[in-house]
Structure 1
Amino acid sequence: MNFNKLTFQSPRIGILFSRFLVVVMVWFVFFLVVILPLIPESESFKLCLWNPATKQIRQLPNTRNESETIRTIGFGYDSNTNDYKVVIINYFDDDDDAFYDNFRVFQAEMYSLSTGCWKKIKSDVDFQDMFMEDSSVTVNGMLFWRVEEEEYQFVLSFDMGKEEFRIIVMPDSIEYCYRIAKFKDSLVLLSEFYEDAGLGWAVSVDLWVMEHNCDGGQSWSKLFTVGTFYKINCPVGIWKNEIFIQGYKYTEEESGMLLCNPTNNEMKILTDIGSAHLYDVFNYVESLVPV
């Protein structure tokens, strides 16, 4: 497997580098670029859609409440309307002197590429105490986020066609869900299990797949367990039928990306990363879809 480095080619984005932190998230044919101000409260964040294949970029208009803070973001393709959509959960302070979430107003907004406009999404879900991953997983017109709330974990879903949020409970038997991912057109959980094996902590990774029940609900089935391994940090995603895992090469300061075959537990070292930070893995396919 070869890894290629993607760089920005657009001068419109390059000009912003000196004042903004640029975060890139991928959804197959498009990159979603989140431009955050380096100086707090100096300017609101900016959102751009970028297609590296065509080098086209579109800066999205400001959200309806022009919030300066994003709690989480996701985007994907809605096949029912043949439209690409961006969904954000953001907040603004209800009190100028507020520093805590109980003084903040949380809301969801959705941007449609076809209309070029944002709209507020009404929901009974309370986003206030949710700690969500920065980006979502898209499966069959649904957006999913892994969420932590105190000591409780669950999955937050958003149906782009019905424009509805739902909470999906995780299996009771998992110790800790580290990632959610797409696997064979289904949503899966990647959870870890630690045990003291004498020579150090040994780690196993379980893969759980979400199944849709006849009554419209969801259930989880464990497909397989990978491991036991030493000197691995966490699963970070799935590529085809194999699992990306961040592992330590020599020490915790020298890490590498590994690819594990779940059928035989074979582990391949793909590349050295360097420092032992956490990383995300995204699928990307070149396309000429206009922005």
Structure 2
Amino acid sequence: MNIPFKSLHFRNSQVVIDGVIHWLTYEKITYKHRFYSFDLASEKFGEAVDFPYNLADYGRQYRISKINDSLVVLSHHCVVTNLTLKPLCDVWMMLKNGVSKPSFTKQFTFNDVEVNSMIGFRKNGQPIMDRMKTGGYDGELEVYEPCSERINGLGIYGSAFMMTSYKESLLLLNHSDSIIHS
């Protein structure tokens, strides 16, 4: 294996797509963000994919998630307008297009929205986020509608939200051939 594990810092999010785990990492020696993957079926690591040059900026925080079985990068940053900081979050989707080096396309940007964290996405691609409520310590899960640019609360309050996707399966883990015998 040609993976420099001692110099990698794995970010706190990972995504599983088609039986492959994807991580966003930061290489401490080269100062580069890269994607690493591990195929659960073959139990092998894939080739490292360099972070897109147009997304690499040291003033940003990154997370990964998925929309409809496609990897997405969430790029949190701020811009200064009229001497005030304006928070932004860009959502970029990875397109493979059958090539060895995938490309990324920007899906949308949250403008002037304080997002504690992006929790995930609905099946229709609408992002679900955790936003801190004014004057309180708890956040609320909210859904952003990109077409109307509206944010709607889901009425779910708390802190440290996490979400993961699942796929129903009839696979039996304690049977080596994964077949149901009658």
* TM-score tier after normalising by the smaller chain length: 0.7 to 0.9
Distance 1:239 1:179 in 2: 17
Deviation at 1:177, TM superposition (A): 4.8
Distance 1:148 1:154 in 2: 6
Letter of the aligned partner of 1:167 in structure 2? A
Letter of the aligned partner of 1:178 in structure 2? Y
Distance 1:249 1:273 in 2: 10
Is the counterpart of residue 235 in structure 1 residue 118 in structure 2? yes
Give 3-state SS (helix, strand or coil) of 1:128's partner. Answer: helix
Counterpart in 2 of 1:168? Answer: 49
- After TM superposition, the structure 1 = structure 2 runs for residues 171-186 of structure 1, keeping only pairs within 5 Å, are 171-174=52-55, 175=57, 176-186=60-70
Change (3 A) 1:204 1:282: same
Q: Which has the higher contact order (CA 8 A, sep 6+)?
A: 1
Distance 1:171 1:177 in 2: 14
Distance 2:136 2:80 in 1: 18
TM-score, L = length of structure 1: 0.49
Counterpart in 1 of 2:143? Answer: 259
Identity of aligned residues (%): 24
Distance 2:91 2:20 in 1: 20
Counterpart in 1 of 2:33? Answer: 153
Unaligned runs of 5+ in 2: 174-182
Deviation at 1:246, TM superposition (A): 1.7
Counterpart in 1 of 2:20? Answer: 142
Change (3 A) 1:139 1:287: closer
Deviation at 1:253, TM superposition (A): 2.5
User: For the Cα contact (< 8 Å) 2:13–2:24, is it kept in 1?
Assistant: no
Change (3 A) 1:222 1:161: same
User: For the Cα contact (< 8 Å) 1:177–1:189, is it kept in 2?
Assistant: no
Distance 1:251 1:192 in 2: 23
TM-score, L = length of structure 2: 0.75
- After TM superposition, the structure 1 = structure 2 runs for residues 83-162 of structure 1, keeping only pairs within 5 Å, are 123-133=1-11, 136-150=14-28, 151-162=31-42
Letter of the aligned partner of 1:155 in structure 2? F
What are the superposed Cα offsets for residues 89-132 of structure 1, whole Å, 9 maximum, x if unpaired? xxxxxxxxxxxxxxxxxxxxxxxxxxxxxxxxxx1111112121
User: For the Cα contact (< 8 Å) 1:239–1:283, is it kept in 2?
Assistant: no
Change (3 A) 1:194 1:130: same
User: For the Cα contact (< 8 Å) 1:136–1:144, is it kept in 2?
Assistant: yes
How many residues align structurally? Answer: 165
Distance 2:79 2:117 in 1: 14
Counterpart in 1 of 2:177? Answer: none
Deviates more, 1:260-269 or 1:158-167: 158-167
User: For the Cα contact (< 8 Å) 1:179–1:236, is it kept in 2?
Assistant: no
Change (3 A) 1:153 1:140: same
Deviation at 1:263, TM superposition (A): 2.2
Letter of the aligned partner of 1:165 in structure 2? G
Structure whose alpha-carbon radius of gyration is higher: 1
Unaligned runs of 5+ in 1: 1-122
Counterpart in 2 of 1:281? Answer: 163
User: For the Cα contact (< 8 Å) 1:247–1:255, is it kept in 2?
Assistant: yes
Deviation at 1:179, TM superposition (A): 1.7
Counterpart in 2 of 1:3? Answer: none
